[in-house]
Structure 1
Amino acid sequence: MLSSYVQLIGIDNIIVENTNAEPGKYLAEYGVYVFAITVGGNVLCIDTNDVKEGDASVLIADSNFCSYNEVYDCIEIGIVPEMLLDDLSNNGIVRLNYMNIKKCLNKIDDSCLDFMMKLSNEEYEDIEEFLE
């Protein structure tokens, strides 16, 4: 665990996070992949849809960001910014899709390389502040 409360995870755990664990297994379907975990169990992801010059952006997702909704047989976003709730809601739920992921998740950095440099230089005090 780094001083910013981030743990970079190894390849085996990256596979588990993106194939079996929530929210990673759902986000991965849209090209958003978990590569690190915070002390609170939240996940840091690279967005392979948002790549500039071979460098992806970094997003943060609450551990409860999305889950399977049995009633509607879909993946539902459970944590939606209040100001977007009315615009995104359909039948009282917000379905997971890439457009809604972009609207609901906070971006930490436009560049994974810059993010890793800042992380290694301990420029982040508490990465979970980006959830707010």
Structure 2
Amino acid sequence: MSNYKEITDRIKSRMMENGWNSNDAQNSFGHAEKDKLNYLMDLHATFSYWSSVYNENDLEELKKYKVPQSVIEFYQDYEPKGNIPVFGGIVLFELETIKEYNSSFTTDGYLIKYGVITIGNTIGGNLICIDLNQINDGEPRVIGVDSNITMYNDDEQRIEFMGGDYEEDVILLSYEVLKDNVPIIAKTFSEFLQNIASENPEYKSIEAKYF
């Protein structure tokens, strides 16, 4: 398992080098409240209740998804506090914001049905997500999703995919469509955090590189 303490300590050091108050930087990660940690530990119960998009029957598939223990342990001990802006204009969400974003009537909230969880965003408002369909070494991969890649069709009451190169007039959102049209930000969740901590040059211009 990754050394999350080492990773978060490096991020805090970078924050202070960039002008953050020492106390604010040191308190930027911390233990999660148990009830909020349950947002990730029981996805179906959380989002079938909170979602503005889907009802309980729509989210039956969420019962098959489980956030890996390695990710749970990060949020348990090192939850980002107050939605932290880090290297590359990336913002890491705290658990309450993860719940809110993945319940909203926007692209963020549309993805949860497919086991794709928004955990942050970029300075341009695009989404950073963990993909529970693709597990590598016990961890989900991290993908980027353009916040404008979907549209809710009020007349047809359906979610349509607006990206990609398709000949059809209407493409409905599905995981198969999504996975073929989004960039991979990191092969694993811990690699994503390591890249932030080490200020990987690919993340410096994340909007230009991935979106």
Alignment TM-score, normalising by the size of structure 1: 0.87
Q: Which runs of 5+ in 2 are unaligned?
A: 1-84
Could you tell me how far apart the structure 1 residues matched to 2:175 and 2:110 are? 11
Deviation at 1:100, TM superposition (A): 0.2
Cα distance between partner residues in 2 of 1:26 and 1:117: 28
Aligned match of 1:85: 166
**Please, which runs of 5 or more residues in structure 1 have no aligned partner?**
none
Instruction: Determine what percentage of the aligned residue pairs are the same residue.
Output: 27
Which protein has greater RCO, CA pairs closer than 8 Å, 6+ apart? 1
2:30 maps to what in 1?
A: none
Residues 1-20 of structure 1: pairs in structure 2 closer than 5 A: 1-20=85-104
Candidates 83, 88, 96, aligned match of 2:173: 96
Deviations, residues 16-42 of structure 1 (Å, cap 9, x unaligned): 010115211110110000001111111
Q: Could you say what secondary structure the match of 2:111 adopts?
A: helix
Q: What is the number of equivalent residue pairs in this alignment?
A: 124
* 1:58-73 matched pairs, under 5 angstroms: 58-73=142-157
User: Which structure carries more helix by proportion?
Assistant: 2
Structure 1 residue ranges (4+ consecutive) displaced by more than 4 angstroms after TM superposition: none
Aligned mates of 1:30, 1:85 — CA distance in 2: 21
Task: Please say which structure displays the higher CA radius of gyration.
Answer: 2
RMSD (CA atoms): 1.3
Which residue is equivalent to 2:206? 127
In 2, Cα distance between equivalents of 1:56 and 1:13: 20
Task: Please identify, of 102-111 and 24-33, the stretch whose mean Cα deviation from structure 2 is larger.
Answer: 102-111
Q: By percentage of residues, which structure has more strand?
A: 1
**If the length of structure 2 is used for normalisation, what is the TM-score?**
0.56
Query: Which residue does 1:26 correspond to in 2?
Result: 110
Amino acid at match of 2:93: I
